[in-house]
């Protein structure tokens, strides 16, 4: 078990389990940048840093949150829309950085990360602990150096951050069935991708085994977990060119019905705060 307490903040005191809530804010999700905030029982985490520090700070402030209160920044994989500002978040806001070594090394050789003093390497498949809050990491077949996705668990709720998945690999249905809520990629509409402007090699990369899930892929994956304790899903990482929120929601409703709560994360702004009680 790994316990982490932010330097200078003292010990994190967790709320009693029965009164604990988990708050989730997708600060942005898409090919232009990704960043997700999760808070439970006094522990505050950021996942990915694909938007600017100013954007992250302002969008959290709009929800009454101070980015400098965040306890850790955790990186999923090396692609720029998830890592572009990880060095800025670390230096400007004093956030300890948690990242696998292959991801950190890959980003460091290809981007201007800058000076990083407080970095913690983990291995895909390990569980990280921040006070009472655990973050399970799960390796993915996405075309990254060492991509992972996350399940955040506060002993009362389990929330999944599942984007850049490659394909529906073996562990995914079981993982989703264990969750209370999920942010899940629903990257492209099959017809929009097929008839869109992308060159053939890029279309093949997106729909291939190391690319992204389509609206149909994501909807059938959610369907495979139902009925379960899953309370809602936030559709994420929608392509600007090959998807549309209305198409994504319509496809999911056609497969899942209209009773299951669904929303789309915004591709250019923060979404509303979602809560698990």
Stretches where the chain sits below pLDDT 50 are: 1-13
Residue 276 burial (10 A CB sphere; 0-12, 13-18, 19+)? buried
In 3D, which of 142, 145, 190, 188 has the Cα closest to residue 162? 142
Beta strand residue intervals within 49-189, DSSP E: 72-74, 97-99, 119-121, 127-130, 133-139, 148-153, 158-162, 181-185
- Spatial distance between the Cα atoms of 252 and 226, rounded to a whole number of angstroms: 13
Q: Give the count of alpha carbons within 13 A of 222, CB side only.
A: 32
Q: Alpha-carbon distance 85 to 53, whole Å?
A: 7
Cβ neighbours of residue 27 closer than 8 Å, sequence gap 6 or more: 35, 36, 37, 51, 55, 56, 59, 60, 270
**Two tokens at 232?**
């809602």
Query: Residue 232: is the preceding peptide bond cis (ω within 30°)?
Result: no
Provide the H-helix boundaries in the chain.
53-62, 80-83, 86-93, 101-110, 171-177, 190-195, 200-207, 215-225, 245-256
Cβ count within 10 A of residue 32: 13
pLDDT in tens, 99-158: 999 999 999 988 888 888 899 999 999 999 999 999 999 999 999 999 999 999 999 999
DSSP class of 15:
P
| pLDDT at residue 227, as a whole number | 87
Please report the pLDDT score of residue 112 as a whole number: 81
Q: What is the pLDDT of residue 159?
A: 98
Alpha carbon distance 174, 211 (integer Å): 21
Domains identified in the chain and CATH numbers = 22-276 (3.60.15.10)
Tell me if the pTM is above 0.75.
Answer: yes
Nearest alpha-carbon partner for 81 in 110, 49, 108: 49
Give one word for 123, left, alpha or beta, with left for phi > 0 and alpha for psi -120 to 50: beta
Query: For position 113, what pLDDT does the model report?
Result: 83
Which pLDDT score, from 0 to 100, does residue 13 have?
Answer: 47
Residue 117 has a pLDDT of 87
């Amino acid at each position: 078990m790994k316990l982490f307490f932010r330097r200078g903040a003292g010990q994190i005191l967790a709320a009693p389990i029965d009164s604990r809530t988990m708050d989730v804010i997708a600060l942005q999700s898409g090919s232009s940048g990704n960043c997700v905030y999760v808070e439970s029982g006094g522990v505050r985490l950021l996942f990915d840093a694909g938007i600017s520090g100013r954007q992250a700070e302002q969008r959290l402030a709009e929800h009454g949150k101070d980015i400098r209160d965040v306890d850790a920044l955790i990186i999923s994989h090396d692609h720029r829309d998830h890592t572009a500002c990880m060095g800025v978040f670390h230096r400007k806001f004093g956030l300890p950085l948690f990242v696998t070594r292959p991801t950190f090394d890959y980003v460091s050789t290809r981007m201007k990360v800058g000076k990083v003093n407080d970095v913690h390497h983990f291995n895909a498949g390990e569980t990280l602990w921040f006070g009472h809050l655990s973050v399970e990491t799960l390796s993915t077949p996405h075309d990254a150096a060492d991509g992972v996705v996350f399940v955040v668990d506060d002993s009362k709720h389990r929330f999944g951050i599942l984007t850049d998945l490659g394909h529906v690999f073996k562990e995914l249905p079981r993982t989703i069935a264990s969750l209370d809520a999920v942010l899940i990629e629903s990257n492209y509409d099959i017809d929009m991708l097929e008839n869109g402007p992308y060159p053939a090699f890029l279309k093949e990369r997106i729909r291939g085994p190391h690319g992204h899930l389509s609206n149909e892929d994501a909807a059938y994956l959610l369907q495979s977990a139902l009925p379960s304790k899953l309370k809602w899903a936030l559709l994420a990482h929608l392509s600007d060119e090959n998807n549309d929120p209305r198409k994504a929601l319509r496809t999911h409703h056609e497969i899942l019905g209209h009773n299951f709560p669904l929303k789309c994360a915004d591709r250019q702004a923060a979404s509303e705060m979602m809560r698990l009680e």
